[in-house]
Amino acid sequence: MEITTNEKDGVLTVSLKGELDHHGAVAARQDIDAAISRTSPKKVVLVLDRVNFCDSSGLGLIMGRYKKALSVGATLTVADPSEAVERIIKLSGLTEIIKTERSGVL
């Protein structure tokens, strides 16, 4: 799992690449939580266009970062989810809770 973060004007953008399985989610959780705590953003954007696999651990990662963002007064958005991510978040009903956006909308 490759993770890159960028903070600008109160928006923390986190781009993930690879598999959001148990192993990938553990590393991502630590890095994202540290970035949220360090920057106290107004908005967290998870860019998931390069995630080629997502299971329940990935869903847990997304939901947990949603709660972490709320704890610092931020919103969380999933941007450009790959087909693998979009399928599982729709099946789980997370689209009812977490906003999803496509490029050009951010």
9: domain range? 2-101
- pLDDT for 106 equals 45
Q: What distance in Å separates the CA atoms of residue 13 and residue 15, rounded to the nearest whole number?
A: 7
Report, as an integer, the average pLDDT of 53-67.
Answer: 95
Residues 21-45 have pLDDT tens digits of 999 899 899 999 999 999 999 999 9
**Residue 51 belongs to domain with CATH number:** 3.30.750.24
Q: Count structural domains, the chain.
A: 1
Q: Could you tell me what percent of the chain has a pLDDT over 70?
A: 97
Running DSSP on this structure, what letter comes out for residue 23?
H
